[in-house]
Each structure stands twice: as structure tokens, then as C-alpha cells.
Amino acid sequence: MSDATRIYLTGSCEGFDRLKESLAQQPGLELVGSNEQPGAAGGALAGGHLDCVLHATSSSTLPAHELATIREYTRAPLLLVASREASSLLDEALSADVADVILLPALAENVVFAIRKATHGPRRAAAAGNREGRIVTVFSPKGGTGKTVIATNLAAALAKVEGRRTLLLDLDLQFGDTAIMLGIEPEKTIFDLVNAPGELDPDKLAGYTTKHPSGLDLLPAPLRPEDAELVTEAKLGRLIEVARVCYDAIIVDTSPFFHGPMLATLDRTDELLLICSLDVPTLKNVRLALGTLEMLSFPTARIKVVLNRANSKVGMKQREVEAALEQKVRYEVPSDRAVPLTVNKGAPAVVSDAGSDFARAIQAMAKGVLPAEEPKRGWKLRPSFARA
Ligand SMILES: Nc1ncnc2c1ncn2[C@@H]1O[C@H](COP(=O)(O)OP(=O)(O)OP(=O)(O)O)[C@@H](O)[C@H]1O
Ligand SMILES: [Mg+2]
């Protein structure tokens, strides 16, 4: 994965196009895209893993509305670009949520310097200290492809076999069934957590998760489908940031839709396990999903295709899947009777039938998503201790 600083450009002003061209030539910067209208760039702003947004304005007053629109989608540092005559903007902008103001014409080096300063400022420092846990999102645009079976088993393997601090987050907010697959009857769910009064912090998170015998902590989906919409993107974003401090891995189970919470999750996802199977409708939808992810500027390097029931004899071959998706299959998971048997027992196969083909495939996946040779991390608050 490239370490380039990912920037997005919105708005317009005199000289902005020239600046765009010269920034495109700068090593270490990646222009993810541009759109004059911040409102029309929502997908890319939210899902583009941006390090910085440059917004140009030709107005002599602060474009508060446009800045607020950008802020609805991303917390990335914002730089305002204006022509020299607009220098009256400076004070107003800096007291708003703007990291710096660039007055054009300006030397490209100076602009790069301003971008570097903004992206390595306090936000980055905080990020470097805090954003440690790996967010692995298990997604498929089609229902019933095995997302939940894979997410629950992957989380259990990471916790039990790899000894990682693991949170399983159920974002199939209406019909989540991670709890039932793990044989857990939850007392508290994500709905209770995001609606509890006060700031969300590690201690609070610990009070709402349920420990499974494998060692994983589960934050289940709301018990009632109608409560799903109260789990807003802003609350979810905060929740994921807090979880990152407490866990090595956060495995997110999802529903087959690109809704708001999913976009907030994608924005923070380090690895997206895209579940596919050997059937034409699923393949068609996975292909469409890849197109949507591209439109959202989700980094391709973070997408890993998982072929579930890879050994099924159904007249379609893995290489046909790879050709249709223009993507290699990264993980193969076999169809295995152990899966329905262990699902019905409420005991994940990696724990209750560890020798099964399915469990072995998931164990290999666990090693792949969180390689053992990763440098040891510093101390983290362990939610289970905090609760004791
Ligand atoms: N590799 C497999 N071998 C055998 N059965 C499997 C396998 N993967 C999934 N299944 C079965 O398929 C069913 C659907 O799987 P699962 O619930 O994980 O799908 P899902 O993608 O989460 O569905 P939804 O979109 O409804 O949440 C499960 O009951 C499970 O037993
Ligand atoms: Mg599911």
C-alpha cells in the first residue's frame, strides 16, 4: 500500500486549476479526485481515506456552508485556498475548523509544505498513538453468502488461536445474528451503548460488550430492527475510534447495503473482506460493489476477495470468478457440513470443530489479516480488566 498523502480537491477559484496540475506532479501526494461541489463529492470524501481536503473559494467571506458540507463527510484536515485579494478570510478561517489558508498564486513547494504541516499536526499525532487496532470489515452485497459465519469464526480464531484482543462488531443493524451464532444472549447491544449518556470512552465500551469463551468481545446488533436507525454514523465513527485503542482487531459484520453506517465503517476500514461465492447473481453484485467501492475511492489494495464454498461443484471455476471481478481470490473457504452443524449449536467451528476444513481455512485467514510478525504494540487498556 502506498504511503502517499491522499488529498481531495473541492471548490474553485482563480489559479486553482494550475495548482491542481502542479500538485499532481508532486511525489508523495496522491490526488484522489476533485469536484467543484462538495455536496456531490460526498462518497469520495467519506470513503476515500483522505489525509487532507483542499477547498478553493472565490468568495471574500468564509464559505461556511461548503465547509460544513465537507465536514459532514470527513474529519480530514481542511485547507482553504483563495486568491490573494481574499486575505481578509485568514483570521475567520483559522478560527473556524480550517487547518491553514493558502493564498494563490503560491509556489507548489509552499502548498506541499502546508499540506504536510496539516496532515502531520496534532490529529496525525493522535492518530499515530491511538489508531492501532486493525479494522477488518466483512462485506458482501448479497445476503446469505456467509458473512456472519466468516466474521464470527474469524474473530474467534483471532482471539483464541492468535491470542489477539478482538472485538466483533455487529453492524447488520436490523437483523444481526452474530450473538445467536456464538450462543450468546446479550443483555446490552450497540443500541444501548450509543444511547447511553456521556462521552464514549474505553471504560464505557467495556461495559457494553459480552465476552465469548473464545476470548472475543462481542458488541451485538440492536435487539429490535426499528432501533437500527438510532445508531448514527457520527456515533459509530466515535465507537470505532475508541475500539481501535482497546483492541488489536475489530471484525465488523455487515448487512448487504452501502448505507450511512457502512460508509462510516468503510472510511476506517483497513481490510475489506469481500465475500463472493460460485453463483452468477452473487458474482454480478460483487462486481457492482467493486464499482461502487471504486467510485467511493476506497483503496483497492485494501480489498481482499474471499471465495466462500470454493469447492462447490456448480459449473463455475475460481478463475472465472477472478476474470469477472478482475481481482485475485485472496482466501478460499470450503463448503463444509461443520458450518451448519456448529451454527445450530451456537459454537463457532474454529472452537468446536477446529480440525474441520472450514476451521482450518479461517485459521489461515486469521494469520493473513493480522500477520504474527507485526511489531509488538504498546500497552492498551483491556476492556475486560476495566470492567472487573
Ligand atoms: N462455507 C460454508 N459451508 C457450509 N455452509 C455455509 C458456509 N458458509 C455459509 N454457510 C451457511 O449459509 C448460511 C448463511 O450464512 P451467513 O448467515 O453467514 O450469511 P450472511 O452473508 O451473513 O447472510 P445475511 O446477509 O442474511 O446476514 C448459514 O446458515 C451457514 O450455515
Ligand atoms: Mg449475516
C-alpha cell at 356: 474441520
Pocket probe for ligand 1: among 339, 341, 358, the residue whose CB has the most ligand atoms within 8 Å is 339
For residues 283 and 325, is the Cβ–Cβ distance under 8 A? Answer: yes
What is the β-pairing status of strands 249-254 and 134-139? parallel
Residue that is written with C-alpha cell 453506517 in the block: 261
> How many residues does the structure list for the chain?
388
Arithmetic mean of pLDDT over the chain? 88
301 forms beta bridges with none
pLDDT at residue number 2 = 57
Model confidence at 156: pLDDT above 50: yes
- 152 C-alpha vs ligand 1 centroid, how far in Å? 11
pLDDT at residue number 376 = 41
Q: Supply the pTM of this predicted model.
A: 0.70
Residue with more model confidence, 385 or 73 = 73
CA 380 to chain centroid, in Å, comes to 21
Rank 70-84, 136-150, 237-251 by mean pLDDT and report only the highest.
136-150
pLDDT at residue number 94 = 73
Model confidence at 1: pLDDT above 60: no
CA angle 166, 135, 115 (to 5 degrees): 140
Question: Is the shortest distance between the CB of 33 and ligand 1 below 6 Å?
Answer: no
Round to whole Å and give the CA distance between 264 and 246.
19
For residues 67 and 97, is the Cβ–Cβ distance under 8 A? Answer: yes
For residues 283 and 321, is the Cβ–Cβ distance under 8 A? Answer: yes
- 157 C-alpha vs ligand 1 centroid, how far in Å? 17
Round to whole Å and give the CA distance between 8 and 53.
5
Model confidence at 123: pLDDT above 50: no
Round to whole Å and give the CA distance between 46 and 143.
24
Instruction: Tell me the per-residue pLDDT of 79-121, one tens digit each, with 9 for 90 and over.
Output: 999 987 777 777 777 767 788 889 898 888 889 888 988 887 5
Q: Give the residue-averaged pLDDT of 238-247.
A: 91
Contacts of 330 (CB under 8 A, 6+ apart): 304, 305, 306, 368
Q: Please tell me the least confidently modeled range out of 24-33, 79-88, 167-176.
A: 79-88
Round to whole Å and give the CA distance between 349 and 156.
9
Instruction: Tell me the per-residue pLDDT of 335-359, one tens digit each, with 9 for 90 and over.
Output: 999 999 999 999 999 999 999 999 9
Model confidence at 381: pLDDT above 60: no
